[in-house]
Amino acid sequence: MTNLNSVSVEYDEKDPRKLKIAKTISTFTNPPIICIPLFLIICIVLASKGTPFTPSFSFDWGLFAICEIISLVFASALPMAIIVFWAKKLNTDSDISNREDRFAPLIIGTASYFIGFILSWLLNLPSFLTVLLLCYTTNTFIVMLITTKWKISIHTTGLSGPVAALIMLLGPIGALFGLLYPVLIWSRVTLKKHTMAQAISGGVLGFILTVVETFLFLSLFGLKVNNIVPLKECLWIIFAIVACPIVLGLLGLAKKRGFESLILRKTFHLFAFLGFAIFYFYAPFSATTILILTGIVSILITIYAGESFSWYKAISRGLNHEKMSILISLICGVAWIIIGISLFTVEATVISSLIIGFVGAIAEPVSIMFANHKFEMDSLLKNKGNKSIEGSIIALIITMIILLLFTQNLFVSIAVGLAVCLIETFLPKELENLIIPLVAAAILGFLLHY
């Protein structure tokens, strides 16, 4: 029997209201249940032709009915029936929490998905549904093999599969369902059903395997799906969904192993702005949008989870008004991103995001750990802390280095560097994520017409 007591050390929630919410989320995201509404959307899309609400639009009700029956029976009803039967037979919970007891339901689930694939193929149903059921077969078999050694989360795997399908069909609109991913991770860890690594890994596995296998099978069988989102964009969107939970998960693990909170929260700060800059410059805008939204949801669920949650421990500062401080920093960061995208060029937005990312990640640790000329920082929430002359000088140097690399203009580098130095010195800490990049971008726009 798998020992789950180690999970309680990772996150031991006592609040009955939170436990009830976590249980509700877990129930409705059970793989055979969550696939009902998600497969319904998939079948609606597959039965539709043309643009909705236009004269060219048509809907094949017969095709929709057949697709829905096949998916409902073989992707939901039969897997759910075996889970209920097996749980009663073993007198265990509906999640079949013991890893060793999951083999039979998984092998029968694999068979159910494969039968659905065969029927879909024989009935000449849309290629996408046929291949998706084959992906379900393959993924469930892979999960079964992993489960023999490690209790990977079937819940997050079961969510990511149909969400990946919706990403391929609908792009960023389908990816919105992926915002459930960080919420579901919290739910499964809160209920002590999985460790953080198991919960995160299930989703990563499901997202990547489903997309890669779908394109692979379509190519191998010579099948064609019209208007499918390109593989490259799908992978960018998937990375956008899983990036923040992965980073928070790794930082939470580092905290558990004794790393300093200051280093961890500044690492997250750097990854947040660096990640946005990379996505905004290289990725499709759809992926950048999903990255921002997933980050917001991840931070909000972290704030809600509270002090004992590993994500919270990784980004907390030990302040008197910790949650409000995190929320204000989040609001300011998102406000900057929206303003940057709306008002400034890509170059100015990317450079300014890199400035706040590196300045915020390095200046404060220098002030706390190495500085000799410290002074009390200003705070909207009256939180206690220090800044330093050394930290402000570091902000100046970092800004100048970044600008010299991108602009090769010494005058502009000095001008923006001095502005950032003054802001970092005198501005309330909570507003830095907005004001520093905003001023930097404005100066760049004025002097270089960025």
Question: What's the pLDDT score for residue 7?
Answer: 46
Say which residues have a Cβ less than 8 Å from residue 115's Cβ, sequence separation at least 6.
Answer: 74
Answer for the pair 243, 279: CB distance below 8 angstroms, yes or no: no
The C-alpha atoms of residue 60 and residue 354 are separated, in whole angstroms, by: 50
CB 86 within 8 A of CB 123: no
Taking the C-alpha atoms of residue 195 and residue 320, their distance in angstroms, rounded to an integer, is 29
What confidence score (pLDDT) does residue 95 get? 66
Q: pLDDT value at position 260?
A: 86
pLDDT for residue 371: 65
- pLDDT at residue 440 in the model: 95
Helix locations, 257-316, DSSP H: 261-282, 285-305, 310-315
In angstroms, the CA 155 to CA 357 distance is 34
Task: Give one DSSP letter per residue of 125-177, joined into a string.
Answer: --HHHHHHHHHHHHHHHHHHHHHTTS---HHHHHHHHHHHHHHHHHTHHHHGG
**Cβ neighbours around 364 below 10 Å, total:** 26
**pLDDT single digits (tens) 393-450:** 999 999 999 999 999 999 999 999 999 999 988 888 889 999 999 999 999 999 887 6
pLDDT at residue 36, as a whole number: 94
Measured between alpha carbons, how far is 358 from 372 in angstroms, rounded to an integer?
21
Q: Which residues of the chain have pLDDT under 70?
A: 1-11, 93-97, 368, 371, 375, 377-378, 385-386, 450
Q: Single out the residue of 175, 197, 195, 205 nearest to residue 294, CA to CA.
A: 175
pLDDT score, position 8: 44
User: In the Cβ-directed half-sphere of 428, how many Cα atoms lie within 13 Å?
Assistant: 11
Q: What is the pTM of this model?
A: 0.91
Tokens for 303? 């704030």
Contacts of 198 (CB under 8 A, 6+ apart): 150, 151, 152, 153, 188
Question: What are the Cα distances from residue 363, in Å, to 305, 334, 348, 386?
Answer: 29, 21, 22, 11
User: Using CA atoms, how far apart are residues 402 and 351, in angstroms rounded to an integer?
Assistant: 7
Those residues with Cβ within 8 angstroms of residue 83's Cβ, 6 or more apart along the chain or in another chain: 30, 32, 94, 96, 105
Query: Strand locations in 305-385, DSSP E?
Result: 374-376
Q: Which amino acid is at 329?
A: S
Q: What is the reported pLDDT for 386?
A: 65
